[in-house]
Amino acid sequence: MSAVTRARQARPAASGSVRARLLTAGLATFAEHGFHGARLQEVAARVGVRHPTLHYHFGSKEGLYAAVIEQAFADWAGETSAAVSTGLRGFDQVGALIEANFRFLAEHQEFVRIVRHEALAGGGRLEDAMVAFIRPFLDRAVAFLDAEIVAGRLRPHDPVELMALCYGALMTYVSDARFRARLIDEDPLSGAALTRHREALTALLGAALTPSSERRSASPSAGARG
């Protein structure tokens, strides 16, 4: 039985507001200290409840961590599912996915830090949740990219490697924001910086993925020549 399943079965979803506040506090605490450094007493104190209340809802530190991860991945999966349900084609759909995921990660920086903590620690506690929530989206995205490549709406590229590159680019930008701020003397999470980076990444991928015929027809000079 996985930690996620044990967390679900630990207690019924009573007192939802308290449970939600504990999840928010747990997210912040795990992001700051990692799993091993986080203390349940700190989580309970942030919410203003006693330690036994936390155990009532989640059963254990592992149960709280699993619930925090499950909630974050469910929110992320929901964001990406909405982006792929628009009926867009070709690079328009790719661009919509980049925007949705970039927005989600920029708004959930604590989740990004937890993912990075797990990556450095070996990822054992995170792998089950990641597979459960991200694999269906990955399979759907790869199938879409394959179909668009066959239809000629995208240039041929390995869709799995393309998804890995996008994941790395988006996750690293947010996780390394503090270092980037010191490097270029600008808050990389400001609205202007986020927009500029998203547009740069979208333009770069667009140049790599959009068929040359579409790029020519979309350019202003192409219309002038016609």
pLDDT tens-digit map of 60-94: 999 999 899 888 888 888 888 888 788 899 999 99
**Domain assignment present for 141:** yes
Total tally of structural domains belonging to the chain: 1
Residue 218 covered by a domain: no
CB 132 within 8 A of CB 4: yes
User: Does residue 217 lie within any of the structural domains?
Assistant: no
- Angle, to 10 degrees, between the axis of helix 90-107 and the axis of helix 124-150? 160
Is 173 part of a structural domain of the chain? yes
User: What gap in Å lies between CA 8 and CA 5, rounded to an integer?
Assistant: 5
Residue 146 has pLDDT above 60, yes or no: yes
List the CATH number of the domain containing 165: 1.10.357.10
User: How far is the C-alpha of 188 from the C-alpha of 190, rounded, in Å?
Assistant: 6
Q: Could you tell me if residue 219 is inside a domain? A: no
Residue 134: per-residue pLDDT: 76
Task: Indicate whether 135 belongs to any domain.
Answer: yes
3-state SS, one letter per residue, for the chain? CCHHHHHHHHCCCCCHHHHHHHHHHHHHHHHHHHHHHCCHHHHHHHHCCCHHHHHHHHCCHHHHHHHHHHHHHHHHHHHHHHHCCCCCCHHHHHHHHHHHHHHHHHHCHHHHHHHHHHHHHCCHHHHHHHHHHHHHHHHHHHHHHHHHHHCCCCCCCCHHHHHHHHHHHHHHHHHCHHHHHHHHCCCCCCHHHHHHHHHHHHHHHHHHHCCHHHHHHHCHHHHHHC
pLDDT band for position 179 (50/70/90)?
very high
pLDDT of residue 226: 39
Range of the domain at 187: 3-212
Q: Does 100 fall in a domain?
A: yes
How many other β-carbons are positioned within 10 Å of the β-carbon of residue 194? 19
Which pLDDT score, from 0 to 100, does residue 217 have? 54
In tens, the pLDDT along 10-60 reads 443 444 589 999 999 999 999 999 888 999 999 999 999 998 999 999 999
Residue 96, domain member (yes or no)? yes
